[in-house]
Structure 1
Amino acid sequence: MSTFHSTVSRREFMRALGLTGAALGTAGLVAPVFHDLDEVAASTDSVGPKMPWYVKKREAYNPTVPVDWSLVKPFDSDERKSWPYEKRPATPPEVFEEQMLKIDPKLDWKDPRRQAMQNGARASFSRSHTYGAWLGDLGATTPEKANYPSWQGNVDENHKLLTGAVRFFGSQGVGPLERDDKFMKMMFKKNGNTTYTFDSSISLAEERKLAGNVTERAIPSSYNWAFVWIFRQPMDATLRQAGGGGKSTRNPLGLAENWAMAISYNRLDMVEDRIQKFLRGLGYHGVAGGMSANLPGNSMAIMSGWAEHVRMGQPVSFPRWGVTVRGTYKMITNLPLPAGQPIDFGNYEFCKTCEICSETCPSGSIQRGDPTWDGNPVGNPAQQYGFLGWRTEFQTCPHCPICHRMCPFNALETDGYSFVHDVVKATITNTTVLNRFFANMDRTFKYSELPESGYWDVFDKHPVWGWDSRT
């Protein structure tokens, strides 16, 4: 007779998870109770995205990743040019391919359907000259041009209106912040050949040519708010991405990140353009400029209450979608908005014991071990400092992107609406006791290892745009 049975009672097990008695009823595992509509309106939960019931809010600018704000300063590309770092050779493409063949032995890099999807996904990439423009479409209709009143609302009404618009345009929502001292520490001072300044003498944003090829982007001081808007990649295609490090005999097309990535950047440009036109139609303005403009979008996503910092460094993780979000684009605006707050759903702590992404990274670009204040020992001129986290070594990372598909937080949402997955997430949020166990379960059962070779079997069953709008 087997004796492999735990002597821990059910109550003791639940107590270890923090899910017994008062904890189950009052520790944030049930929806808050409101007695009337005034309490609903006054609730801070109205600021920021609607989150699963297990997600906890934190104080402003106090995310789960520790930040020493005295060390954080605006990114200046001129300062980073003199930062010494070790130049590392690129990893041969065959290394990435061998790693993928371990996951999907039937993968055929030469399958013509792969390139056909890539062609289609990129078809209308930035067809409009206003896509990716910092100022947007200056020809859009405004109250001044058409003689109608500007929109007037309080910060909560503005946030609700903006959220509805960006969701209609195709984004999952917005995370707002107010411009203050800590916000300005996240702001770019200079990025490449572009400088960013706030100017109290202007009412509309301006782009100015400086000496050489340097451009100054001047923002009116009345632009006191910013928001990040979120865009998911098609889930199934993302979890089947085949890693690659460039063209090779086996992979003549050189595809790595697949059409899930390509279609997302296409759509991101369109949504950004529409948001700017929407703001102009209200009588307000927003400066954008694509992925690398103004300030880091992932930092905005963390501070405004959408995501947590995770081991991959550059991507951030979301409670519902893991690291399958492609876009955290951002705008600075004169539309008054409330300030969001960081959240805690246990992902940062989970990363300390998981390490699946760094174990499977063919180029060794993802930092191993505990989080650090300084980043990788070899240094990197693009690294930011002032937070106890992980940094990816970008001079060796070809965006293959095996790490994106391997994260256990992706797998927890893939089969729909199973309650057991919410229990797992609630457990991770409330205690670290079982983090190693959950990570090992993912290693053993390989929840996130969906083969690309099986993608075409369900190709005609995917939801419109590639993700379920209910999630």
Structure 2
Amino acid sequence: MTVRFHSTISRRDFMKGLGLTGAGLGVAAAATPGFHDLDELVGSYEQKRDWWIRERDYEDITTEVDWDVYQAYDPKTHPAVPVSDAVRAATQARVAKDKSEGLAGRLPGYDRRGMAWYSASGQFNFSVPWTGSNSYWKPSEGDNAVPYNESSDYNLQVLRAAFHSFGTPAVGVIELNEHMKRLFNKGLCVWEDIDEPFQDEQKLYHIPNKCKWLVVWESQMTQSQGTFGYSKNPDTLSGYGSSVPLGRMDMQGYDWAGSVWNRATSFIKGLGYYALRPGGMMPSQNTAYGVFAGLSEQGRPHYRMSPGWGLCSRYADSAITDMPLAPTKPIDFGGHRFCNTCKRCGEVCPSQSIDMSDEPSWDTVVPRNNPGIKAFWMNWDTCSGFGAPVNCGICQPTCPFNHPSEAIIHPVVRAVAGNTGIFNGFFATMDRTFGYGKVRSEDEMEAWWTRDLSTFKGDTINGAGKFNW
């Protein structure tokens, strides 16, 4: 079954909007035959590329081919011409000179940051020890590399630049004082005057006192894909059931996060510093550290809510380091206040695990809750009992702070909510009225498989940045 969604704008009106009138309009229209409207032009299954790209017959490529001659490449019959010793020596000398000049600080882009980034960017998502990636750039004997030693403010900017290229949208820093160290799992870590970190026979992690900072970064999920996870279930109080597999973002988010963790720790170690994540530290404390680092606020479901991605962050990843970094401050974007009146996540919760109180409280609801903050409390027993996060997670894409910013009203709502809570109830009502958080129809589910790959907001093209290739 093919599902088509058509716009109300005609091809001619669209061309006029581009300024293609008269003769120009005729030429453009002639070049795009067979389409009845704009959506057929840009979204047809047969024409996946731009309209000016034409198909040819099978095997009829634009490069001429002589099939009496053309065969699979065989290195035995087409051997490479040996590189002379002189050419090889010249190449090696040039590369060595570039590297030496760069590591001495005299060749931009070839410095220690560049070398560390290049090494880190090639790391894949696989198991990484608690001391960080085992694969990272190290100066060789004779490199005469200038030690990387910059200010804490500049170091934070360097990490943000590198980490963003690895795939995380936000980075914060916490100075590990008595309060922040207290949030590690009890009996997990001990800070000492030692040179190297190690784990003893009792599984206790020994951390050098010089490791004073915790780098914290976002691990993102795609909200657009998450909207395909809603299902109906008349047997639950909310009317929603387990997440549809097509909308489950958890494993994809964990996969992306693993790649970023590997690359992030490789980069930090390539600059000559530690990047530690003691076992059990993540994700058990990721909400607290993400909030204290200024990436987010505490949301109604008792996990993090960020200003740009709402509840659709997989977790806040982190690494203990001795790299001097400027601590970042907590933020207030109106999120926690918005949660007081919104309650959209709780309305869709199949297990009714999300606190629906009008105000946050100091009183916990189940032993699994960690007291000491005034918050909305999640009943994690009934939440996980229903199957979360694997078989449920629909609270995440439902958050109004997830809605794409392409619609002009959404940034306006966020700006207003960040300054006053007087309209929060109205905003939540409008969210319900416009049908956000609804179960996808059968046609919409089917249409996902024939969607326009160039415009669908749920897809991530690794390496494409913000460009639509």
| TM-score, normalized by the shorter chain, greater than 0.5 | yes
Q: Residues 405 and 154 of structure 1: is their aligned pair in 2 closer, same or farther, counting only changes over 3 Å?
A: same
Asked whether 1:224 is paired with 2:212, we answer yes
In structure 2, the residue matched to 1:183 is: 180
Specify the alignment match of 1:101 in structure 2: none
In 2, Cα distance between the equivalents of 1:311 and 1:426?
A: 20
Residue aligning to 2:130: 134
Aligned positions, number: 322
For residue 179 of structure 1, report the CA deviation from its aligned partner.
1.4
Which residue is equivalent to 2:294?
305
Cα distance, 1:285 vs structure 2: 1.0
Is residue 156 of structure 1 aligned with residue 153 of structure 2? yes
CA distance in 2, matches of 1:217, 1:294: 17
Maintained 8 Å contact 1:233/1:466: no
Shift of 1:396: 1.4
Judge conservation of contact 1:243–1:401 (CA < 8 Å) in 2. no
**Contact conserved, 2:175 with 2:214, CA < 8 A, in 1?**
yes
2:322 is the counterpart of 1:337: no
CA displacement 1:153-195 (0-9 Å, x = unmatched)? 00011001111111111111311111112222323224xxxx2
Q: 1:207 to 1:290 in 2, by over 3 A?
A: closer
Q: State the partner residue of 1:363.
A: 351
Which of 445-454 and 328-337 deviates more? 445-454
- Unmatched 5+ stretches in structure 1: 1-125, 246-252
Q: Corresponding residue for 1:324? A: 312
Tell whether 2:457 aligns with 1:465: no
Trace 1:270-309 onto structure 2 (pairs within 5 A): 270-288=259-277, 292-293=281-282, 296-309=285-298
Aligned to 1:362, what secondary structure does the other structure show? coil
**2:195 counterpart of 1:203:** yes
Secondary structure in 2 matching 1:171:
coil
1:408 aligns with 2:424: no
Aligned partner (choices 386, 390, 404) of residue 376 of structure 2: 390
Residue 460 of structure 2 aligns to which amino acid in structure 1? Answer: W
Alpha carbons of 1:135 and 1:459: their partners in 2 closer, same or farther (altered >3 Å)?
farther
Tell me the residue number matched to 1:233: 221
Q: Is the 8 A contact 1:375 1:385 kept in 2?
A: yes
What is aligned with 2:79? Answer: none
Per the alignment, do residues 415 and 140 of structure 1 end up closer, same or farther by CA in structure 2, a change over 3 Å counting? closer
Whole-Å separation in 2 of the counterparts to 1:172 and 1:457: 29
Structure (1/2) with the larger strand percentage: 1
For 1:234 and 1:294, how far apart are their aligned partners in 2? 19
Say whether the 8 Å CA contact 1:324–1:410 is kept in structure 2: yes
- Structure whose alpha-carbon radius of gyration is higher: 2
**What code does the residue aligned with 2:300 have?**
R
TM superposition shift of 1:224: 0.3
In the superposition, the TM-score normalised over structure 1's length comes to 0.62
Whichever residue aligns with residue 434 of structure 1, its letter is: F
Secondary structure (helix, strand or coil) at the match of 1:343 reads: coil
CA separation of 1:207 and 1:293: change in aligned 2, threshold 3 A: farther
| CA distance in 1: counterparts of 2:426 and 2:262, whole angstroms | 45
Segments of structure 2 that go 5 or more residues without pairing to the other structure are 1-123, 234-241
Match of 1:350 among 335, 338, 347: 338
- Pairwise mapping of residues 27-38 of structure 1 onto structure 2 (< 5 A)? none
Measure, in 2, the Cα distance between the counterparts of 1:144 and 1:241.
50
Q: Quick check: 329-338 or 349-358, which moved more?
A: 349-358
How far apart, CA to CA, are the structure 1 residues paired with 2:205 and 2:244? 35
Match among 362, 380, 399 for residue 367 of structure 2: 380
Letter in 2 for 1:380: P
Displacement of 1:138 in angstroms is 3.5
- Report the Cα distance in structure 1 between the residues aligned to 2:377 and 2:402, rounded to whole angstroms: 20
The structure showing larger relative contact order (alpha-carbon pairs under 8 Å, at least 6 residues apart) is: 1
Provide the alpha-carbon RMSD of the alignment: 2.9
